[in-house]
Structure 1
Amino acid sequence: MSAVSPVSEGIAEGTPIAAEQQRGRRPIRLALRIGVGIAILVATALVVGLGPFLRGIAAISPFPVLAALVLAVIATVAAAWRWRTVATGYGLTLRGRAAFAAYYRSQFLNAVLPAGVLGDVHRAWAHGRDQGGLGIAARAVAVERILGQTVQLVLTLVILLPLGLGSPLAPLVRGAGAIVVAVVVMTAAAALLPRLRRLLRQEYALLRPVLARPAALISIIASSVVVVSSHVALFIVASLAVGLPFGGGLLAVGLVVLAASAVPLNVGGWGPREAVAGAACAFVGLGASAGVAASAAFGALALIGVLPGAVVLLVERRRTR
C-alpha cells in the first residue's frame, strides 16, 4: 500500500478520466498479484513437495492455538494503538475500542482475501465514512502501515547485522542489506522525478505534525516493536510445533519470513512467505522442507489468531441490518 494511490491523485487533481482509467487497471493489478503469489506457491510445492505443507498443518495443537490467540491480542492492541496515534495526529477521531475492533476485522480480511491489503482498504473506507473524509482516513491507514513496516525493517537490520557476515546466517544478513539498498535506490530515484518529489513534499508536510511530537513518535516505534515481536514469537511457536530446535537461528529466520509476509504478492498470506521460509531455513542448516512446514504452521496459526475479526464482521453486519 502506498501513501497516495494513483486513484487518489487523479481525484485530487480533478482528472476524472485518469481516475477512471486507474480504477479499470486495479482489477488487472490485483489479478497479477494473485497470479504471482500462486506461481510462487506452486513453485515452492514443486521443489519441496506437498509433505511439508501437510506437516505444518498437522502440527497444530491446543497449545500453539492458545499462543496464537494470545499473541494476536497483543499484536492487535499495539497495532490499533499505532493507528490511533497516526489518525489523531491527522485530526481524526478514533476511539480505542473502535480501533481495536476495526483492526481485528482488517487482519481477518487480509488473511482470507487475496493480495493481503484489502482488509486495510476496508478499514480506511469504514473510518473515512464515519469521519466524513475518506481521503485523510485512507492516508492515515497507509501511513500507519508504512511506519510499521519501516520500524520492522530497521529492527530486522539491527538484529541481523551484528551477527556478521561470517556466521551461518550470513545469507540472511546479505539479503537484508540488499533490501535496504533497493529501498534507498528506489527512494532516491523517486526523489529525482519532479512530480513524485512534489508528492513526497506534500505527504511530508501532512505527516510532519504527527512525527514532530516526541510522544507520538515513541508511541509509533514502541507499538511497532510489540507487533513485530508478537509475530516473530508466533513463528517460533510454529517452528517448535513442527519439531525445529530452538535457537538464535529461528529468531533471524522469523524476522526474514515476517518481512516476506508483507510482500503484497500472496493469496491470503500464502506465497512468498513459504518460499522465503524454505530458503532461509536451508541457509541456516535447518532444511528447506522444515522451513516450509514452519511457515505453513505459522500461516494456519496466524489465521486462527485473527478469527475474532470474523466475529467483529458478523456483529457489524447484524447491526447494519
Structure 2
Amino acid sequence: MIATEQVSGAPSFRSKSTLLRNGRVRAAVRRCWPWLRLLVAVGILAALAWRLGAGAFVAGLRVITVPSLLAAVGIGFLTTLFGAWRWCLVARNLGLPLKLGTAVADCYRSVLLNSVLPAGVLGDVHRAVDHGHRSGDLGRGVRAVVLERFAGQLALAVAGLGALMAYPALVTAVLPGRGLVVVVAVLLLAVVALLLARASAAGRRVWATALRDVRRGLFARRAWPGVALLSAATVVGNVALFVVAARVAGVTAPVAQLFPIMILTLMVMGLPLNVGGWGPREGFSAFAFGAVGLGATAGLTTAVVYGVLSLAACAPGVLVLFRRRPGQGSPGSRAVRYPAKDSTRLASSALPLAADASDGRPTTPEVVYAATPSVSR
C-alpha cells in the first residue's frame, strides 16, 4: 500500500515541479522583456546614427515649424475624435454605457500615455481598466477596448495589403531576397499557434467568448458600417500627418508614391519593440525610403519629424491627464457606483493588464480573452 501511494504520488510531485519551473521561466521572461525591448529600440536608433549620422535627427528637429505643429494638433483632434466615436460604438453594442465626450477625453489621455511610456500600450490598458470599473463590468470594458484597437489595426492591415497589391514592386524593394519568405513563414507559424491554442478546452472557451464579442461589437448590423468608416478615417488621418511630416522634412515625392511606405511604417510602429514609439519606425522608414530611391536620410528625417508631430498631436491629453471626474476624490461629493458584477470581482484578482511600466507585457486579444471572464448574454 505504501509503495502504491509513493508511485501514485510521484507524477503529482513531478507535475508540481514542472509548473513551478514554468512559472519561474515566465517570471524571468517578464523581467527581461522590458530590457530587451529597450535594447532593441536603442540599438536601432544607435545603428541609424552610426550609419547616417546624427545630422538626420538634428535636421528633423530643426525643420519643424509652428504651422506644422498646429496642423498636427488639428489632425490629432480629428483622429482622436474618430477613434473615440468608434470606441463608443463598440462599447454600446457590448452593452456598456459610454458618452462621446468622456471617450474623447479618455482617448486623449490614452494616446499621450502610449507616446511617453514604454511598451506603447499602457495608455490603452489604463483606458480599458478605468472604463471597466466605471461601467461595473471590468472584463467587458477591457474587451471593448481590445476590439476597438483591433478594428483600427485591421483597417491598417487592409490598407497595407491594398498598397502592396497596387505597388508590387515595393515588395521586392523593401523585402529583398528571402525577406518575403521569412514574413510568410512567421505568419504561418502565428496561424498554427492560434489553431493549437484553440484546440485546448480553455482555448475553445476563449475563442467562443471572442467570437461572440466580435459579432456583437464589430460585425452587428448597426455597428460595422460606422466602425469601418471611422477606422478608415483614422488611417487617413495618420497618413495625412505622415504627409505633413514628409513635406516639412523636404520630401517632394507625390503622395501616391509615399502612401504605401507610410502605411507599412505605421504597421511597423505597432511592434512592441519601441520606446514611446521610437525605434522600429525610424529604422523601417529609413530603409524603405532608401529602397525606393528617395534616400535613407530623408526617410529618417521624416520619421523624426513625424515622431515630434505625433507628440504635439496628443499634447491636449495633458489637460485631462490629472483631471478628476465629478464625484471622484472630491470631499462632499457622491460618487456614482455601479453594482459590481461577477466578472468584475473575478477579473480584479488576476487581471493580466494590471501591470506597471516595468512589466512591459504586450496587450494582445489572446491575453485579454484568456484571463478575463466570459461575457454573460
TM over 0.5: yes
> What SS does structure 1 have at the residue aligned with 2:133?
helix
Q: Which of 254, 258, 261 is 1:250 aligned to?
A: 258
> What SS does structure 1 have at the residue aligned with 2:322?
helix
**Residue 115 (structure 1) shift:** 1.1
Q: Which residue matches 2:105? A: 101
Q: 2:324 aligned with 1:316, yes or no?
A: yes
Answer whether contact 1:280 1:288 (CA < 8 A) is retained. yes
AA aligned to 2:317 is: G
- Cα distance change, pair 169–190 in 1 and its aligned pair in 2 (3 A): closer
For structure 1, the residue ranges without an aligned partner over 5 or more in a row are 1-14
CA separation in 1, counterparts of 2:297 and 2:187?
Answer: 30
Report the TM-score when normalising by structure 2. Answer: 0.73
Q: Which residue matches 2:156? A: 152
Q: 2:48 aligned with 1:41, yes or no?
A: no
CA separation in 2, counterparts of 1:19 and 1:88?
Answer: 38
Q: Which residue matches 1:129? A: 133
**Residue 20 (structure 1) shift:** 11
Q: 2:247 aligned with 1:270, yes or no?
A: no
**Residue 88 (structure 1) shift:** 1.4
Answer whether contact 1:56 1:294 (CA < 8 A) is retained. yes
Q: Which of 230, 233, 241 is 1:234 aligned to?
A: 241
CA separation in 2, counterparts of 1:96 and 1:180?
Answer: 40
| Greater Cα offset, 108-117 or 44-53 | 44-53
Report the TM-score when normalising by structure 1. Answer: 0.86
Q: Which residue matches 1:224? A: 231
| Greater Cα offset, 286-295 or 169-178 | 169-178
**Residue 170 (structure 1) shift:** 4.2
**Residue 44 (structure 1) shift:** 2.2
Q: Which residue matches 2:193? A: 189
> What SS does structure 2 have at the residue aligned with 1:316?
coil
**Residue 180 (structure 1) shift:** 6.7
> What SS does structure 1 have at the residue aligned with 2:251?
coil
**1:93-139: CA deviation from partner (whole Å, max 9, x where unpaired):** 11110001100100000011111111111111211121122222111
- Cα distance change, pair 84–179 in 1 and its aligned pair in 2 (3 A): farther
- Cα distance change, pair 23–75 in 1 and its aligned pair in 2 (3 A): farther
- Cα distance change, pair 250–320 in 1 and its aligned pair in 2 (3 A): farther
- Cα distance change, pair 204–160 in 1 and its aligned pair in 2 (3 A): same
For structure 2, the residue ranges without an aligned partner over 5 or more in a row are 1-18, 331-377
Root-mean-square deviation (CA), in Å? 2.8
Give % identity.
35
Mapping of residues 1-321 of structure 1, within 5 Å: 26-165=30-169, 170-172=172-174, 182-193=186-197, 194-195=199-200, 197-198=203-204, 199-247=206-254, 248-316=256-324, 320=329
**Residue 214 (structure 1) shift:** 2.5
AA aligned to 2:248 is: A
Aligned residues: 304
Q: Which residue matches 1:10? A: none
AA aligned to 2:214 is: L
**Higher gyration radius (CA):** 2
